[in-house]
Each structure stands twice: as structure tokens, then as C-alpha cells.
């Protein structure tokens, strides 16, 4: 008997698929000048009064901006003020063209298929309009069964001007589409409205019926002993035709069945777990009908739910505790924005996978893909499936400055009905996607977060449940009744803090910390603090003038992050700062301290608070200041390491209300850990010359509240440290914080310490850093050369006189060879140290 299983499919080798991606041509058009020039009908133009059309090379899938950059017609918008000179791109229509010949064998039907166009287009074949495309993520399919296989055919796609959506400051109620608004200008990026033929184009043939999609709907029994996998297929053609389905188990075993709705029964299924909770075995489903291309989906067997904890139940709140396979978990992680405003750039999937790796290495277990941007890409979701990083996916609907009311107009609802199903289909088979949400920061007219009774949210929920229904759904985040975390609400109405957002801005040595200290929220799904990017990133991209001053007197500093200027705040805390290097280091130190404090305060309340997500992991455009913890060049800021420290399986929360106090300060060090344990906790307080002011040692077990320790505050700032050791002396966790008296510019002395000296040398994969001077070296910063992705075991730490630290380094060098990699160490009061790192 002939084996009915088809071979794995690729666009380059399938007998049913022919890729039309690759090299195209592109030109611009003001309004419908393309029609006047007959660009949709003719491949050549005669010499005459009108200039002939200038075509440039284009790539499909791709982006118009990327094609223009490669053709030298616009300067890369990442640099200086150049994005201002690229805003015209979205004010044009764009014409893509190519010729092709059908290379597929004859079949009953032939279709021209588009994976998605951003945002809408008309499609012409041999001068005749086939139809229209619309929706950033919505595929299109045109019947071209009569095409002659012996001749070349002209294919033209005319992109319309993108819809006129608002940037961050507008009216959500007037939103007309599900095109992501992040490119219309947001606080983390410039205005760069994306346009392009950004998904695959192909020819597909079949014998009369085709499988358009296949969804493995998994039902897992409570005891995890069995799972049912219903194969839900969407057919075009004979809807009653039996479908053949093959299931490939994680261990390679195969089974096959057929039917109108095939079903597989799994005994003792291999369960998919989040990272650090278990393995991530993946099953593969392939479904096909005779004479058509199979559809392949990878999935995992797991059950995701949101449940109430005691605090949520007592407040009558929504459930916020995520449960996977019946196991509750404390969620910690990051909000994620697009990895690049130009989706078609080379290397975007690699950037996305690198960010997933950074998040996982920082002990994150969930990423929230905020409704500001597009849904997570297949590259991201495949990587999250593989490594066990969970995903909270919001629909691309978001807040605005004037109102946040979900749109209810007929045009929007029609676009919702057309475009939302494709978004759900794109994510529903991924086991990493454990939570769906209608959108970001949606409220009523009174700024109260919406609930499921809002008609637009209810419609979104109906569509999601019809197409999926296997994972929990939230109406929005924050989900109220209070929108923001504020000191007043935390003090007066803590019961109203359910799922809250904010704060985001650095506001000095007290107000940056106090809301987090008082916080009683059940879920803290967005909060942040800003800092400047790495100095190397600033010098690479801020090319339209001098870097200094880093405030609103500098046009390009304003252009690259006008919401996040903080020079004045830094000087309130550290005194006058007059050079870029010191300024960058101080902003990054401040950001790291605030985020670590916020994460620790939330995690210390894990019986009450179910999740804490930092805003934000990354940025899609090189900012001078931003709330990201990894800058555009994939260089982690010092805050990245403080987040990793606070989220580690074993961490120390210092339990300070703020880093300043009146004469004395009370710390309450607490061990925060995923599993119970015991050890020795050493708490010390040292001056900038290394003199010991306090040395407290105790045996601790956890989980348990911390023990208050009174800290004297001398005239100058001093270093509070806590180290946790196991019974055999191994360091389990560290934390340190500079503290000072609550006076104007409390850390000015620290920012003006006398010079010290640093020495560093490599030992295997470790870097030994030593302070050989007489003064403390605060916030020692390590950075590998530009273009090298780096992960250090620690960064941004202090060394007192005579101390040393061994830092492990893992470097990723594109096109790595035997050439050593340059590395630089710096501190506030030490000359930079450079060395060559070998064996990278």
C-alpha cells in the first residue's frame, strides 16, 4: 500500500506551492498617478513629455521603507532627525510589480495567495483587477485557474495610503482599523507608518478542495491522564470531503486518521510546561485532502486558566493567578513592543529570537504583547513554544490621550469582523500563548477600565471564543476599578487596586519608590522607569549634532524620546552632571534601582499579587531616553540585570521604603524564592572607603517575612549589602543599594567621589574585576564591542576598595572568528578599562 503521508512542505519544493516572493520592483505614486501611467497594465513606457517611471528593486516579503533605504532614496530613519524626512512615505501609494510564469503542474484550481499586506491594496493580473486586500494580518486568495502556463504574466499590487489612525495622543473611539498604531508615533518610537507587501505571496494549486487552516483543539482531563485532540479544519471546496490527519508525537511516533473532523486520543500525554516548571514537548499535526498542500501546526498539550487567590476573591475582582496544568504560578516578565519599526529589515527574526533569549535569561516566565503593536510574530511564538516562555497576547487596540473608549462605529466593526479571525488563527495553536485580551488600557468615558459588558469588547470575546475558547480572556489591562497605581489610591483605597498600570517616570529618591512600597494591587501588568541608552548606542544613532546636553535644549535628544527626559531629576538626586558618560551611568543606575524595588515589593506580596510585568523589555527605534531595559542595539542596560536579580529563583528584597531616610533607615531584608529553603543571611553597611558601619548575620528560612534592621545614616552615602549563603557557603543571592540621608541632592557626594582604579583580566569564561584604589567604585558597567550581544552574570555592581568580583560572560559575535572581542569597563570615578576578550 502506498504511504499516504506527504513529504514536509516548503514553498520552494512543494508540488502544490510556488513562491512569488523575492525580487520585485517598486515605485511611488501620488494618489492614482499609477493609473494614468497605466502601470497596472504595461511593462514599458515610451519616451515622451512625461518622464518614464523610475522603478527600484524591492523584496517581498518586505517593507517600502527598507527598499527605499537600500536604494538610497531615504536616509535610515534611525539616525539623527532623519525620520522626519521619511514621513512622506506613508503619504504615497506604492506600486509593486513582477512577472512570473506558472511552474506548477496542471490541477483543477489555481489560486494567487497573499499572506498579508500593510495595510490595503488592489491586485492586478495582466491588467485586470482581481480584487482588493485589506488588514495588516489578513490573508487574501484569488482564483486564477485559467492562467496560461506557457506565458509570462504581469502581477501588480497597488498599496493605498495607510488609514489615518492617531498616534499615542488621540481618540481610541475614532479608531477605524486593527492596524497597529505604534508606527503612528508612540513614546518609544518616531512616526514611521509602516507600509509594504510584508507577507508571503504564492501560487497554490489543488484538485478541487484545499485545507486553509487546521486547529488542534486539545482537551486535557483533570488528572492529566488523557487528552483529546480534535482536528478542526477549514476547507475551501467540498466541505464534506474527509480530511487525513497525521499526528507526530514528541518522541517521533506517528499515527494517522481520517474523517470530516478527525480526533486523536492521547493516553498519558506529554505535557507542555512553562520554563522552570517542566519540559516543553511539542506535537506536530499535519492535515490534508487529496491533491492539495498539507497544513502543518505544532502544538503542546497543556491547560491554561486564570483563578482567584484569596485576595482577589475577597475584593470581588477578576481572577489574575495564572494556572498551568493545575499548578499556580507567580508571573514575572516584561511588556514587549515591536523589535523594529521597519518590519522588513534584514535580521528582524533573529532580533526577535535574541530578545526571547534575553527575557528567559532574566528569569521571565511571560511576555505581554501590548495592543499598541502588532501581534507576536511566528518567529517569536515558535521560540517561546520551544523554550517555555509564556505569552499574553492583546488584540491591536489601544488607549489614546484624549479618550480610551473602544470604537463602536460601523466601519470599525466591519473591519473587526474581517481581520480579527486571522489574528486568532495565527496564535491559537501555540502552547506558549496562555492569555488573550481585547486591548490595552481601554476605558469608558470616565477613565474607568472597561469590562466584558462593553459591546466592542463583548464582540471581540465572541469571535475569540468561537475560533479558540481554549485559554483565558481579559477585557483589557488594567482592568480596574482603578486605572493607575498612585500613592493616594494605595494609601486611601487599596481595595480598588486590582490590575493597575504605572508609574513609569523617575521622580527622585522618594517619589519613584513610594507607590511601589505602598502598592496592594492584585496584578501589576505594566510599570517602568526610564534611562538613557548605552553611550555606544547614543553615539551611533544621534548623529545630527552633539550629544550634550541631554535635555530639551537638544533637538535630537527631544526627537529620540521626548516623554522621558530626566536630566533635571538626575541633578535633583546627584547634583550637577555635565558629561554624557556620567549621565548615562547615573540614569541607568536609577532605572535599575527603581525596577528592582518595584519587582521586589510585588513579589514579596505573592499571596496577594499574582503578576508583575516591567514596561518594557525592548525598543523598536534607537531612543536617547526610554523605559526599555534593552536598547535598540540589543545592549542590555544596567536595569536588565536588576530585573534578572529580582526575578531570580532565589532573590533578596531589601525591604527599604526608599533609599533615603531621616537620620536612620529601616531595612527589612526578605528572601524571595520559588521554593522553600534555609540559609545564612549577611547584611552589611559600608562607607565609601570601606569602613564597616553594620554587620548583621542570621540564620533564615523562607518563605517568611523579613526581620527589621535599623541602619545608621552618616553624612555621606553608604552601601547596604545583603548576601544569602547556603549551608555549604555557596552564594545564593546578592543585593546592594546605596542609601543616604534625605537632603537635597542626597547622592551628590557619591557622584563626585575621588578617583579610584579598576583592573580586569580574563580567566577562562570569567572576567576578574578588581578595585585597586582607595575609594568605592559605584555601578561598574561592562560592555562588549558594538555588534556583539552580551550576557554577563552581573553588571552595574559596586566594588569597595580592595574588593574583586568574578563575572561570567557569554558573548554572541556575528560571523565569529578568532579575532578577540573588545570589552570596556567603566565606573563613575574610574578611567575606562579596555581589554581583548578571547574565546568569545
535 and 631 inside one domain: yes
Q: How many domains does the chain have?
A: 5
Residue 587 lies in a domain: no
Output the domain CATH number for residue 397: 3.20.20.80
Output the domain CATH number for residue 234: 2.60.40.10
Residue 81 lies in a domain: yes
Please report the pLDDT score of residue 3 as a whole number: 37
The yes-or-no verdict on residue 632 having pLDDT over 60 is yes
22 and 120 inside one domain: yes
**What's the grid cell of residue 68?**
527605499
Residue numbers of the domain that contains 780: 758-837
Residue 553 lies in a domain: no
Please report the pLDDT score of residue 818 as a whole number: 58
410-427 and 455-467 are packed helices; what angle lies between their axes, rounded to 10 degrees? 30
399 and 473 inside one domain: yes
Cα gap 527→506, rounded to integer Å: 11
What integer is the mean pLDDT of 493-512? 96
Which long-range contacts does 235-241 make (Cβ < 8 Å, 24+ apart)? 235/209, 235/210, 235/211, 235/289, 236/141, 236/209, 236/210, 236/212, 237/109, 237/206, 237/208, 237/209, 237/210, 237/289, 238/208, 238/209, 241/209, 241/289
**Mind listing the pLDDT tens digit for each residue in 154-184?**
999 999 999 999 999 999 999 999 999 999 9
Is 690 within 8 Å of 775 (Cβ atoms)? no
Please report the pLDDT score of residue 12 as a whole number: 45
What integer is the mean pLDDT of 393-412? 95
**Mind listing the pLDDT tens digit for each residue in 737-794?**
999 999 999 999 999 999 999 999 999 889 999 999 999 999 999 999 998 999 999 9
pLDDT-derived band at 575, boundaries 50, 70, 90: very high
Which of the two residues, 817 and 486, has the higher pLDDT score?
486
Q: Which residues contact 641 (CB under 8 A, 6 or more apart)?
A: 592, 792, 794, 795, 796
Please report the pLDDT score of residue 1 as a whole number: 30
378-387 and 348-361 are packed helices; what angle lies between their axes, rounded to 10 degrees? 30
Task: Tell me how many degrees the CA angle 19-20-23 measures, rounded to the nearest 5.
Answer: 125
Task: Tell me how many degrees the CA angle 106-117-37 measures, rounded to the nearest 5.
Answer: 85
What is the H or E stretch that residue 780 is in?
Answer: strand 777-784
DSSP 769: E
Report the Cα 760 to chain-centroid distance in Å: 34
445 and 528 inside one domain: yes
Residue 551 lies in a domain: no
Output the domain CATH number for residue 728: 2.60.40.2550
What integer is the mean pLDDT of 413-433? 97
722 and 798 inside one domain: no
Cα distances (angstroms) measured from residue 696 to each of 362, 693, 703:
29, 10, 20
pLDDT-derived band at 664, boundaries 50, 70, 90: confident
Cα gap 323→305, rounded to integer Å: 5
Last residue of a domain, one of 278, 299, 320: 299
DSSP string of 321-385, one letter each residue: EEEETTEEE-EEEEEE--S-SSTTSTTHHHHHHHHHHHHHHTT--EEEE-TTSPPPPHHHHHHHH
Cα distances (angstroms) measured from residue 508 to each of 375, 540, 752:
35, 29, 18
Least confident of 13-27, 352-366, 776-790, 807-821: 807-821
Cα gap 810→766, rounded to integer Å: 9
Cα distances (angstroms) measured from residue 233 to each of 59, 260, 286, 591:
32, 9, 11, 49
Please report the pLDDT score of residue 14 as a whole number: 79
Share of the chain above pLDDT 90, in %: 93
Closest CA to 475 of 687, 291, 272, 319: 319
DSSP string of 279-330, one letter each residue: ----EEEEEE-TTS--EEEEE-B--EEEE--HHHHHTTPPP-EEEETTEEE-
What integer is the mean pLDDT of 365-391? 97
Cα distances (angstroms) measured from residue 595 to each of 26, 572, 602, 629, 722:
46, 19, 11, 10, 18
The residue whose grid cell reads 544596567 is 638
280 and 389 inside one domain: no
Please report the pLDDT score of residue 79 as a whole number: 98
411 and 509 inside one domain: yes
Is 324 within 8 Å of 271 (Cβ atoms)? no
**What's the grid cell of residue 643?**
530585573
339 and 323 inside one domain: yes
Residue 196's CB is within 10 A of a number of other CB atoms, namely 27
81 and 99 inside one domain: yes
Mean pLDDT taken over the chain: 95
Is 765 within 8 Å of 808 (Cβ atoms)? yes
What integer is the mean pLDDT of 699-709? 96
Least confident of 5-14, 89-98, 373-382, 463-472: 5-14
Residue 352 lies in a domain: yes
- Which is it for strands 766-771 and 804-812: parallel, antiparallel or unpaired? antiparallel
Last residue of a domain, one of 591, 625, 646: 646
The yes-or-no verdict on residue 9 having pLDDT over 60 is no
Residue 583 lies in a domain: no
Last residue of a domain, one of 280, 299, 318: 299
Cα gap 516→609, rounded to integer Å: 12
What integer is the mean pLDDT of 412-433? 97
Burial of 557 (0-12, 13-18, 19+ CB in 10 A): buried
Is 255 within 8 Å of 246 (Cβ atoms)? yes
Cα gap 89→344, rounded to integer Å: 15
144 and 233 inside one domain: no
The yes-or-no verdict on residue 11 having pLDDT over 50 is no
438 and 519 inside one domain: yes
DSSP 89: G
Output the domain CATH number for residue 96: 2.60.120.260
The yes-or-no verdict on residue 439 having pLDDT over 70 is yes
Is 165 within 8 Å of 179 (Cβ atoms)? yes
349 and 465 inside one domain: yes
Residue 548 lies in a domain: no
Amino acid at each position: 500500500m502506498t504511504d499516504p503521508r506527504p513529504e514536509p512542505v516548503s514553498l520552494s519544493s512543494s508540488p502544490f506551492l510556488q513562491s512569488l516572493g523575492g525580487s520585485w520592483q517598486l515605485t511611488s505614486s501620488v494618489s492614482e498617478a499609477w493609473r494614468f501611467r497605466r502601470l497596472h497594465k504595461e511593462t514599458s513606457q515610451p519616451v515622451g513629455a512625461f518622464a518614464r517611471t523610475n522603478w527600484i528593486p524591492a523584496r517581498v516579503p518586505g517593507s517600502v521603507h527598507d527598499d527605499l533605504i537600500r536604494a538610497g532614496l531615504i536616509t535610515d530613519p534611525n539616525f539623527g532627525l532623519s525620520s522626519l524626512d521619511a514621513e512622506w512615505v506613508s503619504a504615497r501609494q506604492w506600486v509593486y510589480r513582477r512577472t512570473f510564469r506558472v511552474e506548477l503542474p496542471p490541477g483543477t484550481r489555481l489560486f494567487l495567495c497573499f499572506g498579508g499586506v500593510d495595510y490595503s491594496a488592489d491586485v492586478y493580473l495582466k491588467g485586470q483587477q482581481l480584487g482588493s486586500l485589506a488588514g495588516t494580518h489578513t490573508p487574501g486568495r484569488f482564483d486564477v485557474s485559467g492562467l496560461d502556463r506557457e506565458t509570462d504574466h504581469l502581477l501588480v499590487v497597488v498599496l493605498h495610503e495607510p488609514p489615518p489612525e492617531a498616534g499615542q495622543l488621540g481618540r481610541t473611539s475614532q479608531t477605524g482599523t486593527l492596524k497597529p498604531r505604534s508606527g503612528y508615533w508612540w513614546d518609544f518610537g518616531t512616526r514611521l507608518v509602516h507600509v509594504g507587501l510584508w507577507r508571503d505571496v504564492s501560487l497554490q494549486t489543488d484538485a478541487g478542495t484545499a485545507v486553509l487552516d487546521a486547529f488542534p483543539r486539545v482537551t486535557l482531563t483533570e488528572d492529566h491522564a488523557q487528552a483529546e485532540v480534535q482536528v478542526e479544519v477549514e476547507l475551501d471546496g467540498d466541505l464534506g470531503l474527509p480530511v487525513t490527519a497525521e499526528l507526530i508525537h514528541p518522541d517521533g511516533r506517528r499515527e494517522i486518521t481520517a474523517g470530516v473532523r478527525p480526533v486523536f486520543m492521547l493516553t498519558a500525554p506529554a505535557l507542555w510546561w512553562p520554563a522552570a516548571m517542566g519540559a516543553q514537548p511539542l506535537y506536530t499535526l499535519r492535515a490534508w485532502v487529496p491533491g492539495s498542500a498539507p497544513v502543518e501546526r505544532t502544538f503542546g498539550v497543556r491547560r491554561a486558566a486564570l483563578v482567584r487567590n484569596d485576595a482577589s476573591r475577597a475584593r470581588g475582582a477578576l481572577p489574575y493567578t495564572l494556572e498551568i496544568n493545575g499548578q499556580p504560578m507567580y508571573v514575572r516578565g516584561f511588556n514587549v513592543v515591536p523589535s523594529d519599526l521597519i518590519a522588513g529589515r534584514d535580521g528582524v527574526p533573529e532580533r526577535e529570537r535574541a530578545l526571547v533569549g534575553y527575557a528567559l535569561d532574566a528569569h521571565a516566565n511571560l511576555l505581554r504583547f501590548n495592543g499598541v503593536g502588532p501581534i507576536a510574530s511566528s518567529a517569536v511564538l515558535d521560540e517561546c513554544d520551544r523554550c517555555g516562555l509564556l505569552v499574553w497576547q492583546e488584540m491591536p487596540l489601544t488607549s489614546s490621550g484624549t479618550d480610551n473608549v473602544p470604537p463602536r462605529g460601523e466601519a470599525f466593526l466591519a473591519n473587526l469582523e474581517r481581520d480579527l479571525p486571522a489574528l486568532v488563527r495565527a496564535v491559537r495553536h501555540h502552547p506558549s500563548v496562555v492569555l488573550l485580551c481585547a486591548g490595552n488600557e481601554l476605558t469608558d468615558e470616565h477613565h474607568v477600565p472597561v469590562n466584558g459588558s462593553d459591546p466592542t469588547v463583548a464582540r471581540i470575546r465572541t469571535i475569540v471564543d468561537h475560533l479558540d475558547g481554549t485559554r483565558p480572556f481579559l477585557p483589557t489591562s488594567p482592568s480596574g476599578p482603578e486605572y493607575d497605581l498612585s500613592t493616594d489610591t494605595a494609601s486611601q483605597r487599596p481595595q480598588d487596586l486590582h490590575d493597575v498600570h504605572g508609574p513609569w517616570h523617575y521622580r527622585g529618591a522618594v517619589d519613584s519608590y513610594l507607590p511601589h512600597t505602598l502598592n496592594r494591587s492584585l496584578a501589576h501588568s505594566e510599570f517602568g522607569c526610564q534611562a538613557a541608552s548605552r553611550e555606544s548606542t547614543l553615539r551611533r544613532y544621534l548623529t545630527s549634532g552633539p550629544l550634550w546636553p541631554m535635555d530639551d535644549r537638544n533637538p535630537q535628544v527631544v526627537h529620540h524620546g521626548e516623554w522621558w527626559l530626566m536630566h533635571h531629576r538626575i541633578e535633583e538626586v546627584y547634583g550637577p552632571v555635565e558629561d554624557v558618560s556620567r549621565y548615562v551611568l547615573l540614569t541607568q543606575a536609577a532605572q535599575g534601582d527603581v525596577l528592582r524595588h518595584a519587582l521586589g515589593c510585588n513579589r514579596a506580596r505573592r499571596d496577594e499579587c499574582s503578576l508583575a510585568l516591567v514596561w518594557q523589555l525592548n525598543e523598536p527605534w534607537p531612543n536617547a531616553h526610554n523605559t526599555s531595559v534593552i536598547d535598540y542595539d540589543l545592549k542590555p542596560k544596567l536595569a536588565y540585570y536588576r530585573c534578572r536579580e529580582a526575578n531570580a529563583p532565589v532573590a533578596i528584597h531589601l525591604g527599604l521604603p526608599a533609599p533615603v531616610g531621616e537620620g536612620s533607615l529601616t531595612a527589612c531584608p526578605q528572601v524571595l524564592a520559588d521554593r522553600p529553603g534555609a540559609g545564612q543571611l549577611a547584611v552589611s553597611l559600608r562607607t565609601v572607603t570601606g569602613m564597616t558601619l553594620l554587620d548583621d548575620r542570621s540564620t533564615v528560612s523562607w518563605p517568611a517575612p523579613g526581620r527589621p534592621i535599623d541602619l545608621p545614616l552618616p553624612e555621606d552615602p553608604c552601601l547596604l549589602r545583603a548576601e544569602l549563603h547556603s549551608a555549604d557557603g555557596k552564594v545564593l543571592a546578592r543585593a546592594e543599594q546605596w542609601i543616604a540621608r534625605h537632603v537635597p541632592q542626597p547622592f551628590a557626594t557619591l557622584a563626585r567621589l575621588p578617583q579610584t582604579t579598576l583592573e580586569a583580566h580574563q580567566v577562562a569564561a570569567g572576567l576578574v574585576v578588581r578595585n585597586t584604589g582607595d575609594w568605592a567604585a559605584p555601578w561598574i558597567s561592562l560592555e562588549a564591542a558594538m555588534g556583539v550581544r552580551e550576557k554577563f552574570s552581573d553588571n552595574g555592581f559596586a566594588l569597595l576598595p580592595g574588593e574583586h568580583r568574578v563575572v561570567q560572560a557569554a558573548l554572541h559575535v556575528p560571523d565569529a572568528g578568532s579575532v578577540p572581542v573588545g570589552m570596556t569597563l567603566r565606573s563613575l570615578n574610574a578611567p575606562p578599562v579596555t581589554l581583548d576578550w578571547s574565546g568569545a
